A and B are shown apart, each in its own frame.
Chain A
Amino acid sequence: MSNSVALSFQNVTKNFGGLTAVDKVNFDIRDNEVFGLIGPNGSGKTTVLDLVSGLLRLSSGKIISYDKKISGKTSAQIARRGVSRTFQLVRMLPTLNVKENIASGGVFGFRRYRRKELDRKVNYMMSQVGLTGKGMLPITMLTYIDQKRVELARALMSDPKIILLDEWLAGLNPTEMKIGINLISGIRYEGRTVVVVEHHMEAIRSLCDRCIVMNSGQTIAEGKPNEVLNDERVISAYLGVGNA
């Protein structure tokens, strides 16, 4: 594993009016690691991903990716620098078919394919995520797990250096969950940095090299999953102080 820093959060703060969703957060995500972002609902995990991908603007602080500042850039500029993402609620392009949905990720982003090369890459991505033979289907005919696969394939199409997965495993049954964990494990072996926001602790344990726990917009623990998940502050944050 490389020691260079893929993402560095330096005093990152995000306010929504009087509410501070992310409060002076500082941490680094190393190159080619699977990094978990966990915490109770409303703790600011998705806001952190939105800040990285340019969906939201920082109130203060900065985010550095591979020694270059990405905070303040637009989502498109950040995507072209090699950061791609999936969304908490699956976002499909309903009038396009499966192949076109996937292809959309490989035409304008970090790596851009043309014509036949694009077609080959789409077919390869479909085989990687388990969608072989479904390329011409309208997106509305797919099951939920298949829609998630399409979104993952779309995010991977541009060969991103960093991929942000926002609760990608949420809503899957146990069988689908295993498939999903295997899929995400495969991504890191392609040399990418993977940031996962998850509520499923077994997935965090089996996938992540390190993780961070957020509560009320602040980081309360950081380290290896097994250590962090046994931390008293983390247990209190999840179960409440009286029940910990």
Chain B
Amino acid sequence: MKHRENYSLNIKRRELYGLIASIFAFGLAATLPIFNTGYVLSLGVTIVMYTVLSTSWALFSGPTHYISLATAAFFGIGMYIVGGGLEIYSFPILIAIAGCVGAILAALIGLATLRLSGVYFVIFTLGLSELIRQLVTWAQTTMGTSSGLYVLIDVTESQIYWELLTIAAFVFLIGWCINRSKIGFALKIIGNDEKVARHVGINTAAVKIVLFMISGSIASITGAILAPRWTYIEPTIAFSPMLSFLVVIMALIGGAHRLWGPILGVIPFALCWDFITAKFPNQTALMLGLAFLLIVYAIPHGFAGLGEKYWGKFKHWRDFRV
């Protein structure tokens, strides 16, 4: 039986095909605004947004199994940096600042919490989003302004789409590089057994913090890019806990153990979510509940895991048929 060698750094033919297919897929996706600038493009922005968030979330949470519910915190900070800084800095500079602030915040959270594990980390990250939301609300009411901020900047939906698609390609490139690097191998060992990881010489806290910083930074950049789309942002929108839950669900449905796994969850889930919110707006919580049940009982390793299982069975049948 053959097993892939993760620690090898040589490019294999299968990986090369994957790389070429990815470049082709991104090129194809980039043409969407040329053909449609209405509803389909709007849906495309949503799908690419969740692809970026879920894939970057899975970069950290997939191998380490640390379930982070802090996506909304990073996302909201990115939005508010753009909302609050447009009069001082240009939009591209604010996106860069958002990325840096997201990384710094992730480092601080990581230093405080990543020595913990399991449910404590989950609760902390959920609480963090709520804490930041309350702090922003308090700051705005104390300063005597309205509860939100206007983000008035001349950016089209197509531009937002292309910016997000560029970030998505960047996330996949980072993930691909991580998977082929020492840090990727360290993450796989940590995900298998953190005690063993420490005893083979891995500074587990440092590895996890670096990955959490990458993930947090990307979520902040995504928030910054999307701020002009909302036009008016307020804490309840920017720091919505629903965003954190949706990102986790989509990544798990697709399969967080593979770089390309989350996108398998994002596309069907985003389409279903769009349909449900349009036709049955009061039933969204029901859909979330069903999705959780599906993950736990039917596809614990997501669509990617399911596909790999049946592909393995097919190969076994093909190799041993008489």
Contact = CB atoms under 8 A, between A and B. Distances in A.
- What band does the interface of chain B fall in when counting residues whose beta carbon is under 8 Å from A? 20 to 34
A28 B192 CA distance: 35
A192 interface: no
Most central of A94, A108, A115 by chain B CB within 10 Å: A108
A176 to B, nearest CB: 23
Contact of B189 (A53, A104, A138): A104
Q: Most B CB atoms within 10 A — which of A84, A87, A100?
A: A100
A105 interface: yes
A118 B204 CA distance: 21
Given A115-B8, A138-B1, A95 B188 contact: yes
Q: How large is the interface on A (under 10, 10 to 19, 20 to 34, 35 or more residues)?
A: 35 or more
B5 A110 contact: no
Contacts of A110: 201
Interface in A90-126: 91-97, 99-100, 103-105, 107-110, 115, 118-119
A233 interface: no
A63 interface: no
A35 to B, nearest CB: 20
A93 B7 contact: no
B6 A79 contact: no
B35 to A, nearest CB: 42
Contacts of A109: 200-201
Contacts of A84: 199-200
A8 B313 CA distance: 54
Given A76-B203, A76-B204, A79-B201, A104 B9 contact: no
A30 interface: no
B5 A104 contact: no
A115 B203 CA distance: 21
Nearest to B191: A95
5 contacts: A75-B199, A93-B192, A103-B7, A107-B182, A141-B1
Interface of A: 53-55, 74-76, 79-80, 84-85, 87, 91-97, 99-100, 103-105, 107-110, 115, 118-119, 136-138, 141, 154, 158
